[in-house]
Amino acid sequence: MVHFVQLLNSIVTSGAEAHATACGEESMYNIVISHVTDTPFLYHVHPHGISELFGNLIFKLNTILGFHKPDPAPVIECLHGHAAEVINATPIKLLGIFDLRITKWVLMLWMALFLCALVFIPLARKIKNSPMGSTSRWVNLWESLIGFVHDEIVEPNFEHDYAKKAMPYFCTVFFFILFANYLGLIPMLATSTGNLAVTAGLAMFTLFGMFAIGTIKQGPLWIFSGIVPHGIPFLMYFLLWPIEVMGLIIKPFALTVRLFANMTAGHIVIVIFLYLVMMFQSYLVGVGSVSLSLIIYLLELLVAFIQAYIFTSLSAMFIGSSMHAH
């Protein structure tokens, strides 16, 4: 029996080594793609590194919630340039169509939401219990950021009465994107705003806000009369109206691509610089690559804030402009 187990172990080991050889070295393409795409639904029997442990956590969570059914036996697959023993899973789709499995992007969205609640619920209580104003630097920091959103984003784009009503939404959008962006700068985590589905979902709220506010302020037919400049010749209306409608639809598309591209580009550049160390295997290249990566990382700290500001500011501008006829 012992000899049989030893023989079986040698066969499995040799098979894994042959598969590893067939896998070859990790390519730049695979490294970049694995960084900016979702975690595969795999359970690593022998996890290496935090990212694979993170993937195992997501796999277990989907199994517990009944969103997929793990395969009975592990298989050997080529992952990141080496052979890995993993367990695949079959998704259990709702109505046979919708795949509800939790991905790393969903988990990062939950973390951003949790941070918002963790910061602002105690903050609101502390402000409410301090009618004369708080002397805490922590409270003053967040109050200054909220004041920034009000003075620089909401107030310039809305009438005074509507600015107060719009503040909760735009504060939520700004800080949610801000936390999501900064979470993506933590090693081994992911930037949820670097996913098109996430940025498209945020942009759809902007589109809904444009139609809702336009309908409330200008009436249900504002889409026909409110977006075309007044005083133009009658025949010009049939030329300008389709153009204005296209512009209305393109606005959320531009928001989607802008946030996605800016949050993804910086991460790709950092990964490429770090990959140069493995490519050239030189101390000189290593020092240069790490230094450039650090500079890009510091710039990403600024970009994360700027992109949250730009998305929220443009959303306020688009929604605010729908309150008035052209």
The series of mean pLDDT values per 10 residues for the chain, 326 residues long, is 35 36 53 62 72 79 83 72 74 80 85 92 83 74 89 86 87 94 83 88 91 79 68 71 81 91 84 77 80 86 92 91 70
Look at residue 175 in the predicted model and tell me its pLDDT.
95
Domain boundary among the residues 39, 63, 91 is at: 91
34/182 same-domain check: no
CA 253 – CA 257 distance, rounded (Å): 6
Note whether residue 246 is domain-resident.
yes
Q: Examine the domain organization and report whether 122 and 57 are in the same domain.
A: no
Whether 200 and 110 map to the same domain: the answer is yes
Whether residue 201 is found in the same domain as residue 124:
yes
Ramachandran region of residue 281, left (φ > 0), alpha (ψ -120 to 50) or beta? left
Residue tagged 């990964």 (tokens): 271
Give me the DSSP letters along 209-229.
HHHHHHHHHH-TTHHHHTSSP
> Do the domain assignments include residue 98?
no
Task: Return the closest-CA partner of residue 209 out of 168, 161, 151.
Answer: 168
Q: How many domains does the chain have?
A: 2
In a domain, 156, yes or no: yes
Residue 229 placed within a domain = yes
Distance CA 113, CA 121 (A): 12
As a whole number of angstroms, the distance between CA 33 and CA 271 comes to 10
**143 & 66 share domain:** no
Instruction: Specify if 258 maps to a domain.
Output: yes
pLDDT value of residue 43: 73
| 225: nearest Cα among 210, 213, 214 | 214
Q: Same domain for 221 and 136?
A: yes
Q: Give the structural domain span for 50.
A: 2-91
170-188 b/e with 16+ CB inside 10 Å = b? Answer: bbbbbbbbbbbbbbbbeee
CA distance 175 to 167: 12
- Are residues 217 and 259 part of one domain? yes
205 and 311 in a single domain? The answer is yes
CA dist., res. 82 & res. 49, Å (int)? 14
Burial code (b: 16+ CB inside 10 Å, e: under 16) for 46-65 equals: eeeeebbebbbebbeebbee
Q: State the angle between helix axes of 104-128 and 137-149 in degrees (0 to 180), rounded to the nearest 10.
A: 110
Question: Are 82 and 116 contained in the same domain?
Answer: no
Same domain as 135, residue 60: no
Q: Which amino acid is at 55?
A: G
- Name the residue type at position 47: P
Does residue 99 sit within a domain?
no
86: helix, coil or strand? strand
**Total-model pTM:** 0.79
| Pair 178, 310: CB distance under 8 Å | no
Sign of dihedral through CA atoms 30, 17, 52, 63? positive
Same domain, 226 and 313: yes
- 16 shares its domain with 128: no
Q: Which 8-state DSSP code applies to residue 38?
A: P
Q: Which two tokens stand for residue 246?
A: 């296209």
Q: Which residue has the tokens 């609101």?
A: 124
Give the neighbor-by-neighbor strand order of the sheet with 75-79.
43-44, 82-87, 75-79
